Amino acid sequence: MSKNVDPKHMRMIGIVTLILGILVLTMPLLAGDVILEVVGILVAGAGVLRMFWAFKAASLGKGIWTFLLGVLTLFAGLAVLAHPMFAGGVLTLILSCYLVGDGMVEFIKALTLPKGAGKGWLMFGGVASIVLAVMIFMQFPLSGTLAIGVFLGIKLMFVGMTMLTLGTTLKAATH
C-alpha cells in the first residue's frame, strides 16, 4: 500500500461501497436494467460524438470512415436500448470474463501482501469473483440482467469489506 493512502478515507469509501452493494442486492433487476440503459446511452452518445468528430478529419477518406464507424457505434447503442434482453446476455458474458480476470488479479495481489493487512479478505474476494463468474456462465443465458445486478451487489460488498479491512489495518499500522 502507498504511504499516501489515508486509512480514514479508505474506511469511509469501504463503508459507502459496502452500503451500495447491499442496496444493489435489494434491487438486482433494477440495477441490471439501469446498467444496461446507461451502457446503451453512453455507446449511442459515443457514436454521435464520433460522427461529429468525422467532420474534423484531415481528409475526406478518413472522415467518411470515422462517420461510418460513428453510425455503427450509434446503432450499437440503440440496439442495447431496444433489445435489453439480448444486450443483457452479451453483457453477462463480458461480466463473467471480467470477474475471472479481476478475481485472479485480487488473489495474486493478496499473495504479495504481508500476513494480516486484509490479505484474507482480498484472497476471499478473488476466489469469490471467480466462483461468481463460473456461476454466471453456468446459468447463461438465463442469468442475464438479474445476474448483472446480483453479482454487482456482491462484488461491491466484497470490495467494501476489503477496503474497510485494509483501512483499519493501515490505521493500526500507523499508530
Cis peptide before 7 (omega within 30 of 0): no
pLDDT of residue 1: 46
Global pTM? 0.61
pLDDT of residue 78: 93
pLDDT of residue 74: 93
pLDDT of residue 172: 65
Is residue 30, in this structure, part of any structural domain at all? yes
- Total number of domains in the chain: 1
Is residue 93, in this structure, part of any structural domain at all? yes
In the DSSP assignment, the letter for residue 114 is P
User: Which residue type, as a one-letter code, is found at position 99?
Assistant: L
pLDDT per residue as tens, the chain (175 positions): 445 667 788 888 989 999 999 999 999 888 888 888 998 999 999 999 999 888 887 777 778 888 999 999 999 999 989 988 788 888 778 878 888 999 999 889 888 887 876 788 888 888 988 998 888 788 776 667 777 788 789 888 988 888 888 877 766 666 6
Is residue 22, in this structure, part of any structural domain at all? yes
Is residue 5, in this structure, part of any structural domain at all? no
For residue 58, the enclosing domain spans 13-174
Is residue 129, in this structure, part of any structural domain at all? yes
pLDDT of residue 127: 92
Distance CA 6, CA 18 (A): 18
Is residue 62, in this structure, part of any structural domain at all? yes
pLDDT of residue 174: 67
Half-sphere exposure of 66 (CA within 13 A, CB side): 17
